[in-house]
Structure formats: C-alpha cells, structure tokens
Chains A and B, each alone.
Chain A
C-alpha cells in the first residue's frame, strides 16, 4: 500500500511502494491521492508515466504510429548493418594507416635512402672509356663500349666461359656496361682497359675480365656483378 499519507514532502511515492498496511489510508480516503500542488512532481500510478514522444529521432518509416513497423524492419536493419560495416572497414583502414605511418617513421630517413641510388650523366663518358663511381661503398664501373667491343662480346661462345652468360643478359643497352668493380675472387678492384680480353684485369691474383665483365682467365669464379639500373632518359642512368 502507498505509505505517502503521512509524507507529503518526500520523493515520488512510488519509491515508497513497500507493503505497509497503513490504516491511515482508509480515513485519508480520497484526499491521499490528490496531489498537493506539486507541479509535475508527484507521480501517483505507473499509468501516469508518459513515454516521451521520440518522433524527432525516429526514422521516417516508423514515424506514423498507425502503421505496423514490421514492413520496414528489414530495410532499417540492413541500412544499420551496412552503415556499421562500412564505418568499421573505413575505421580499420584508417587505424592501419596511422599505425603504419608511425612505425615507418622509424625506418631509414630520406637522406639515407638517397645514398642507395646514384644518378650518372652518360654524356660525360666518352666512347671506349670506363668511369668509376663510389656507390654503396663499392666501386661502380660504367663503360661506354664501342661498336667493335659490342660485336666481339656478343659473338663469344658461351661454352668457353667459366660463368656462361650471354652479353645480352648482362646489359640493358649494349652501349653501356655497368658492373660492380669488385673482383669475384677475393674482392680487389680490377683495373679498367687492361688484361688480355680488352676488359678488366685484377692485379691481385691475375683475373682477366672481358668488355662485358665476364671472367675469362684467372682464379675468379663468377662474372662481375651487374646491379639493377634503369635509364630514365637518354642521357642518364640511375643505378640502385
């Protein structure tokens, strides 16, 4: 029973809804449930609770209270799930991007990376001449070959090579041979335009390389290494 009879000032009488058999109720009769000038204060019965009108927040399909909500329920759910799914994908992708950016900031910086490539102006190298550059701590040979040298190298029989490689496999443009100037025997630097084959000669142990950088005579087992390079235009090569 409501025990509000004797407590007009307390909070909503519903909070006091315990089972008090207040005899005073019988005499209070009609007066007990008449609100004592409380503006919107005392709620007397659960039927007085008004569910607020949420029309401002409703989707258009469910604003009309006289229309069943079943018909639109599938559509509304699909929309919600699609939206959530798309947002999740975008969110995960953004998170991945942010994390990658932070983690990759710890990798090598641009100036360090720049040292890994070298750009060479080919116009500076006359025909028949070999120029040496320092690249990644090693000597890099760039040789401007003559027609005669190209023809000679291309005509070599692969059977007589210790490390058989056709000239075409070792060059992009036959006019230019670009190899690492490190002897494959024990790492000395061969001398250009020396040796018996018109290429390079390693003075340490007498390895002879030809104009394509292939080993022809001497203790070295492999041809001179060909790095990755490309010709962004006619006059330049970028190695690395």
Chain B
C-alpha cells in the first residue's frame, strides 16, 4: 500500500512518538492524580475570575495571567490519564466501550473551560501573538493528550471557534502562524484517523456561523495543498488522512465531493503549477529525449508540480470512489483539457518538446489506474481542433528533430502500459478488417514461426558488410583491463538490487566483446549441475542443443537477444491477459471492425503546428466555467505571450517559476469556494440527482471525443461513432495500416539518415510492438511469409530497402569496415555507461523500456526520498567512461572528416557530409542488432505459452 508510506511519515507525531514522550513526562503527575486535580482547580478558580471580568480591559496583566493559567491547565489536561475501564458501573454501555473521562477532563467539560477561554480571547480581539499561542496550545493538547478529546463537544467547539477565527477574512491567519495552523490541523487529522468517530462529529457538530465544519477544515488546509516544503507536505498528509478515513464513509465522501472545493482546487492547481513550468527545456546532449529524475529535481517549479501530481495520485488511491471519480474528472476537465491540450499544440517547437516531455513524465509517474485512464482517455479521445491528441503526437514522430525523439519516448511510455484501448486506436483497429493481407492468407495470421523461417529471413538481411567480428584478435589484447573492469559490474549483480534487467542493446555490445575474451565466467554462467545432483558435466557434445561453431562472437549476443525477447514476450502477454479479445483475425470478427479515419491526404507535418493558445471555455457546465475563470485569472494571461520568451531563457535549474504566485492562486480559491457554495445552494438538496460535476466520460462518449470545448454544439447531441470532422479521404477499400505504422515505417526506411539516437528509440519501439502476442500485430510485423496487399508495406520490405542502402553506402566508402568498427567500439562504451546507469552514479544515457518500467515502480514519495545526483557528476562519469576508449566518438568524427568530400568543399559542406557518414555508419550497427532482436522475437513467440484470461473465465461463469 503506497499510502502507508504517506501515513508512516506522520509517525514521529503518531502513536509511537506520543506515548514515549508521555511515559517520561507524565509519571510524576500520574503518580498523584488528586494533586493534579487540585492544582488544576486552583488555576481554574483564578482564571475564571479573570475571564468573568465584565469589561475585557486591554490590560496586558490580564492577558499574561490568562495565558499562564491556561498553559498550566492544558498541560495538566494533556497529561491526565483516562479512568480505568473497570471503574464505571459495570454493565453500562459506556463503561464497556469507552474508558470514563479523567476528573480534570470532566471539569473541563462541565465548566466548559476551553470554550470560555477561547471566547474571552475572541471577545478581546485576537492578536497574532495570542492566536499563535492558542494554536500551539491546542496542537499540544491534541497531539499529547492521554485520552481522546475531540469527541467532547467542550473541546471540539472551542477548537472550531479558534479555527473559524483563522478562516475569517478580517483576521485570517498571518503568514507567521501558518506553520502552527497547519500543524494543528495535521494533529486533528491524525487524531481523526485514529478515531474515525471523530470524523463523524466534525461533520455533524457544526458551529452555525461557519457552515459545515469539514468545509472549514478543508478551506484551511486546501490553500496549502500546492505549497512547497514541509508545510505543504503536512497539509497534504493531513488531507490524505481525511481522505483515507472517509474512504468508507459515504456521507463524508459525498460532502467532500459536493460541498467542498477540494477536488477542483487540487486538479486546477495542477493547471496553475503547470503554467509556471519552464517552456523550454534546456537540452544537454544530443541524446536527450525524456525527463528523468535527475533532470527535474533541480527545477523547483517542476518539483512543485510533481508533488501535487503525486498527491493527486495518492488521493485517488485512498479516497472514497465518489471523491476519486470526481477528482479524476476534474483532472481531465480542469487540467488536461484546458491546459495540457493547448500546451501540446503550442506553435514553437521548444514548447512542443517541453510539453511532450512533461506529458511523458506525468504518464510515467502516475500509478493509479483511474488516473492513468483519464490521461489515456485524454490522449486517445479528446479532440483539440478536430484532432485527437494522439493524432497530433503521431504527426510529430515524422518531424526531424528532438521533437521526434521526445515523441518517440512518449510512445515508448504508452506502449509499455500494454493498454488495449491504446493499442486498438494506435494499430489494431487498422489491422482488424484483415484487408491488409491477401484473402488466402488470413488463416496464416495465427501462425507462429515454428521452424525459424522468419527469424532466418530477418537475419539474412544483415548486410554482408556488417558481418565482421567485433574486434580483430590483434586488438582484443589491448582491451582486457578495461573490459575486466566493465565485467565486474554485471557479475556482482545481487538479487536485491538488480541491474537493468534487460540491458539495452548497447550493453549487449559490451557483453559480446567480453565473451570473446578468455575471461573466467561469471557465477551466472557456470555450468549447471544436473537436477538430480548428478555429475555436473556440460552438455554432451553430441547433443544437438548447442552445436555452436567456434570463432563466432555474435552467438552469445544472439542468446542474449533470445533471453530478452522471451522476457519481453512473456511480460507483454501476461500484461495483456485481461484484454477483451485475442485479436487473432477472428475475434473480434473482421466484419465488426470500426470505421476508420482514412489515411491523411496531405502531408500531416505541414498542418501540425496550429497557432493556438487559449483556454477552452464554455464546457456548458457551471463548475467548468468557474475553473476556466479561475485559470484565466490565474494563468499567464490569455495570450500567454510574455511567457515563451522569458521561459525560453530559463534553464532547468532556474528556480524562479513563471506564472502566478501560489498566494494569488489561493486568493482565487477562496472566491471559488464561495461560488461553489453558492452553486451547491442553488442546486439545493444534494440528494437530488443533479449530476455534478460533468463527467468527461459522458461527453466524450456522446461526442466521441469531439471536443466539448471546441464544438459545444456537438456535446449534447449524439453523433455517429466516428467523427465527421475529418474530411473523407480515400475509400476504405484501400488497406491502410494506420498512421502509427506508416510513420514508424517511413522513419525506419529513412534509417540511414536518422541520428543514432532516433534509430535507437525507433527500433526500440518496433521491438516493443513486436513483443505483443496478438496474432494480428505479431503476424503483421514478424511473419515474413505473409503476403500483404500490394499497397501495404511490410516490415521486411522496409528492412530490405534499408539493407540495400547500407550496402550501397558501404560499397562507396572504402574505409567503411574501419568506421564500422569504431562505431561499434563507441557503442560498446556507451553500453558500459548505460549499464552503469543503474548504479547510484546515475549516468544519463539512452534507456529502453526496461528501465522505464522500473522507473514507474516506486511511488513518487519513494523517488523523492532517493538520493539525487547532480547531472554534472553524471556527465563527468560518462566522460570518464568514454575516455577509456581512445577511438571513441570524437575520433570517429575526425576519421570521418578525413574521409570526407573533396578539397573544394566548404567547412559547412564537410560537416554535413561528416554527419551523413556518421549517421550511416551508426545506422549499420544498429540495423544489424535490430534484425537479431526481431529474429529472436519471432522465435520466442513460437515457444511462448499463453496466460489464462481471468475476465473471460468470469464471463463464462456468469452465463452458466
């Protein structure tokens, strides 16, 4: 339970800490309760005399006296022990369940001591000093009391009176007292979590003038939700305790959902915080493509945002379903649609890069299914200017820049979710009709690569010029010291701290080389003993299992690919076990395939940067409008024009966030609260079935995501399942495998020109796709025997054309073998760095899905606690690692320059040519490895066992 970690943060102030404190301090008092009572009564006599003065003089003597007496009395009250359970008259209900109150508490209750003290202060006019003192006193009392206090009206009422004063506009809570206030509220919530009955009391016994008390607690806590530092954390912890406590309390949950402004504030607060994020991400290396922890820990505005997102996630985890669904809706309508949507559609490339990277980061950070669903629904269904977010993101893959890499990275994250809805929209719906295969081939959709024919085909595409061994033997001997060091890290792997379990192919380079060296095998490679404890002989030589010819370095690498492929296929099919259908060409039936958007008729990249920035207005619902107004007031202005320029100057380390201040935001919140209150009054009886807030789910389904804000008319009226907004293009008879496949294949075909990092991301995504066990997708990518319709390009065709280009290139560069070797060595070095990435050093490098999956695992709280590393150190480490390779990337550059074009060329032309050569050489290396990955995947699919589908079994049971 992740929220346990939230709760456990409170433990220093929780039961353990409290009791230990009291054991030490209370013993002298409890030794003689009667004396304590006498002392208390004595104080009370004197205090009540002061309190009863008709004219509260401004005299400071009175104040001092009251304070002194109150201090003494409350300490005595806090240390008093409850009476023994057995003391009461036997048989009565109260004595058997609740211990009787101690005599001091009894006196406090009968004399209404606290109420009178607080009232005296309030009448007198609460100066900040006294206010702070009272807050601290109550905090001490509630935090340290030996007996439950809050269920006594005589304690609760004055406490609420004091809190009420803090909520009053004219008095309020001075900034200097905020810490005390939040601490007190936190204590109240801790007590409440311990005694859930208090929750009920808090909500029932409301002082008239303040309306519902939970509103009071909320209105006091909520302004601190998004606050930085300890105070924000305490407020969030406190709110989370309320959420957890009220998770099973329908009444309270309804109250939170309908009468408090907790959810809108939380969700729209994300919008406010988002608006202060840097609009340009300062880019470090040409391989940067995603925000990692190291990247954002230094950006305070991003830390703030992530804290709040984490809190949302935690609330959704513990809260009542009513609150959960409301919060999820508000995140959708108050953050994703009005802010994230436009942000993703900004016109400047920098902003597109930043918003895409942010979205990727958010998706990787969210762990709660309900919240993930809302993000996915936003991406798949929400229409911004007639295009779904998904459409927009797809067009950017084809861009020729970092935007492409960031977008690929986002898709990598999306694919790692193994979400049926996403895969349906992205790929499967285009394959469902089976029009991409020849009619006679449809039955072959389910075939697996039983005899390795497809694998063989993939491997046969490895260009001849790339089939050289990694290092000529002469060069091997120069390396052992370095590689010896390298080897240590993987073999010292412990089960507790696994290294990146599936090393990227870069790490593979390293292992391939290492196995080529006469090293002692690492422990994991030792010969196994037979299961019956027999002689641990290696496989008999006549076994057909492993007749691997000597002298080829690549086999060990291929074994690793097989291993990775097995893991990939297995994890993916496990993750997909609850999908609604097998997608095998029969179920769902090809005839039930949904209507598809036609292939774009124009170049999508031309229309991809709409100049558009405005918050969507007029969702047709009061709350939504309120939020919009709030955001308009709070945001960086309608045009948002001052932002980009200044934001662009900001480095990630710049702590001074743009946009509104949180203080201004909380001001707005108070107004919002008022309006929500009015609105709910207008709605009247909360039991009336007025649906609030608007469910984005409904509007999306009705309009099929036609964009509530863009086309308000569409919202109410049910339109067809497919949006008419798109111009109708080619007839649907033309088989079309969908924009995702088209753009990936186009990018792949262009592999020779892509940068190394684009190619690594691109091939990684294709491998992710190839892990999916659904026969439709598997056959499309991996069955090289399938015959597709002439208009459908197959993966093998694309790969064939890349192969030819590489061979043409190699033939035209006589130093290609040398360059290839250098490129391989560089990548081996990168692989080493990649591997080291999992160590505490945290070197930023390219990572593949495995580390991504891992980065999703720990709770955000966990992550925050983790030691963070300075990027500088990381970069330094990377440089050190690379320095070992004498002919690393830099000298590859120089080598390529030497082999550049003729003497007449200008410097720039030379550079362009050098870049072209560099990309092509790297491409050759990546391409060969990619083919092995695909071959391994084809083989592993044939031997993988399906996992049982839970839902299908259940469905069958229901019918029977």
Same complex: no
